[in-house]
Chain A
């Protein structure tokens, strides 16, 4: 299956421009663009060039080690992997339902993660583009430039992230790569002092999160021509939704909508995700291409993450975030918004929801409780799914009778957005680069489109033994002598 601008007919006759590495994203990726002598674009690809191998090397390890080991996939969203793996291992130990205390503590940890990751992305990675312009002076288009010209915004970004990190530290023992969740529950609750430490700042955090929504709303609304159309393409959406269709980052059932917002499937138990989602491999990237099985490779690809979640849910349970969701839906005119730059707006709505949920939980004395663990009948296979900051995250494991992992399959949030990101950069390349002299500012347009999805390229490249490979032997004239491929 090949999409428009994915593969040029005669690549050997074209000039290659590479953005390597893509900056201000997590992990290593590159974009290659093939242009002819008139600077017309013939091929655009987002390549993921790093290689991890987690699915392979956790085989043969004891299952209780997995939630701690797999979180090393990432330094920004380790909590997502920690919790998705823990949820899968809950199934393995027969813990169909956690104690309310354990679930609330896990949720608190996860909301802390959402808060810090979304703040990091918006303020540290993207605000330079949004505040200064996509082709503004490259020397100031960074967080240091933001700190110099908008010190209040930069400071809030730092403090919002810090608060999220503190929530993670107090629930998991460390700001990055802690151990709080264990199969069947949690290993710690909060002390009164820890709870009060967070309570002290939470109202300020909620207020700043509201301001952040209003900031991006203003930026977006001031230039609708750009923000609604930049890299825009239509696609399906997918996420989990909670009870009554609520926005829920921690638990729920799978729901997919088509590009008009019509439900494709709903209420799907994610234990059976593999009946609904399949993956394709391509020879030019380490990242796989998932698609909805019922629609096939050509039409089944989809978007995940904030833009999908905020439009996929029926409502948000916290008042400020629900108010902002409605404002967003109204702005979109009641139809699904597909603009990649609208990810930023919805991401800030989610950050606000996370802050409000943290505030609610901090007023719940269950967080101080001690009933943390449950067990049940041992199972051989478990799937854990969570809505990570970047989208739906699947962890699927089989465990043998000796407690060792025999199979692991991870579909990481960013992987779900693979085709979507490629579409976005192709649209931007076609609109902004086609027929023009390539400049740094124009190339940054490509990166702006990628950044909107907040990709985590480290997370997304975990497969081993399945990777497609293409080897070409060329002579000094550049003529291909021999080629081999595995896909």
Chain B
């Protein structure tokens, strides 16, 4: 059964069980997000997809759509909060876009551009996070982790390997590798795993492949983030 809710004044159809972000995406409306991925169960942790439903804030990746909802998404207030969250992510890790091979293909960088982030604003933490280069095919650069848990979910739910986990609590939460040594080489992880392809930032990198795609042909050189979603309704 399909019915509708209102999103920034636009009527959005949805099907039973769909979340707000799923229905919005289907209708060609982009809601900024980082930990949400259409192929995985929502995690609701990055809070970037926060919208206002009937005046109250909630994560649109976990909130199911219901008829008659009035949802605010692309507002000055919400985008300012999203921008602040993004700035916090930038200062919490070590995100050096100028020399990062994920630049141009990075969802965090693209989202920052989308939200008009002009500077990190907050003091950098400059954490000391050594890379794990032990695996022959994949490099882990923990400096760029935003704790989205997509690799955790992919490895657990799709690859059935449980290679990754989030450990610690609060500000000390960090990504770990499930091996006694803590090294990726000591797991059954392979470059063909779903978890090897799902990282939205530059943590899980295929070795010896960096900068192979020239500037101008990278994902977000061609179209800014959100444009693919919005293209759904173009020409309709």
* A positions within 8 Å CB-CB of B: 60-62, 64-65, 67-69, 72, 93, 172-174, 177-180, 182-183, 187-188, 402-404
| Complex Cα gap A404–B131 (Å) | 9
- Shortest B139–chain A CB gap in Å is 6
| Complex Cα gap A464–B24 (Å) | 52
A173 and B215 in contact, given A69-B99, A404-B133 (Cβ under 8 angstroms): yes
B residues in contact with A180, CB < 8 Å: 214
On whether the beta carbons of B208 and A65 are closer than 8 Å, the reply is no
- Shortest A73–chain B CB gap in Å is 11
Contact with A along B112-156 (1 / 0, CB 8 A): 000000000000000000110110000100000000000000000
Given contacts A64-B101, A64-B208, A67-B211, 8 further A-B contacts (CB under 8 A): A62-B139, A64-B209, A64-B210, A68-B99, A173-B214, A188-B217, A403-B133, A403-B208
Q: Which of A174, A177, A188, A402 has the most CB of B within 10 A?
A: A402
On whether the beta carbons of A177 and B133 are closer than 8 Å, the reply is no
| Complex Cα gap A183–B130 (Å) | 23
Q: What 4 A-B pairs come out closest when comparing CB atoms?
A: A173-B215, A69-B99, A402-B133, A188-B214
B residues in contact with A173, CB < 8 Å: 214-216
Interface range on chain B: under 10, 10 to 19, 20 to 34, or 35 or more?
Answer: 20 to 34
On whether the beta carbons of B98 and A187 are closer than 8 Å, the reply is no
Of A72, A172, A402, the residue contacting B99 (CB under 8 A) is A72
- Shortest A254–chain B CB gap in Å is 29
Interface of B is mostly: loop
| Complex Cα gap A457–B208 (Å) | 32
| Complex Cα gap A23–B101 (Å) | 35
On whether the beta carbons of B134 and A402 are closer than 8 Å, the reply is yes
On whether the beta carbons of A64 and B99 are closer than 8 Å, the reply is no
B residues in contact with A182, CB < 8 Å: 210-212
| Complex Cα gap A445–B2 (Å) | 81
| Complex Cα gap A369–B50 (Å) | 48
Q: Is B174 an interface residue (CB 8 A)?
A: no
- Shortest A452–chain B CB gap in Å is 32
| Complex Cα gap A108–B119 (Å) | 35
B residues in contact with A62, CB < 8 Å: 131, 133, 139, 205, 207, 210
On whether the beta carbons of A403 and B213 are closer than 8 Å, the reply is no
Closest to B134 in A: A402
Q: Which of B101, B133, B205, B209 has the most CB of A within 10 A?
A: B133
- Shortest B219–chain A CB gap in Å is 14
On whether the beta carbons of B98 and A174 are closer than 8 Å, the reply is no
In the assembled complex, 26 residue pairs joining A and B whose CB atoms fall closer than 8 Å, in A order, are: A61-B131, A62-B139, A62-B210, A64-B101, A64-B209, A64-B210, A65-B100, A65-B101, A67-B211, A68-B99, A68-B101, A68-B211, A93-B208, A174-B215, A177-B98, A178-B215, A179-B211, A179-B215, A180-B214, A182-B210, A183-B208, A187-B211, A187-B212, A188-B214, A188-B217, A403-B207
B residues in contact with A174, CB < 8 Å: 215
Of A60, A61, A64, A93, the residue contacting B211 (CB under 8 A) is A64
Query: In chain B between 25 and 42, which residues have their CB closer than 8 angstroms to a CB of chain A?
Result: none
B residues in contact with A69, CB < 8 Å: 98-99
Contact with A along B212-236 (1 / 0, CB 8 A): 1111110000000000000000000
| Complex Cα gap A180–B217 (Å) | 12
On whether the beta carbons of A403 and B215 are closer than 8 Å, the reply is no
A residues in contact with B212, CB < 8 Å: 182, 187
- Shortest B214–chain A CB gap in Å is 4
- Shortest B29–chain A CB gap in Å is 32
| Complex Cα gap A188–B212 (Å) | 9
| Complex Cα gap A268–B14 (Å) | 72
A residues in contact with B210, CB < 8 Å: 62, 64-65, 68, 182
A residues in contact with B205, CB < 8 Å: 62
Closest to A72 in B: B98
B residues in contact with A177, CB < 8 Å: 98
A residues in contact with B100, CB < 8 Å: 65
B residues in contact with A64, CB < 8 Å: 101, 208-211
- Shortest A84–chain B CB gap in Å is 16
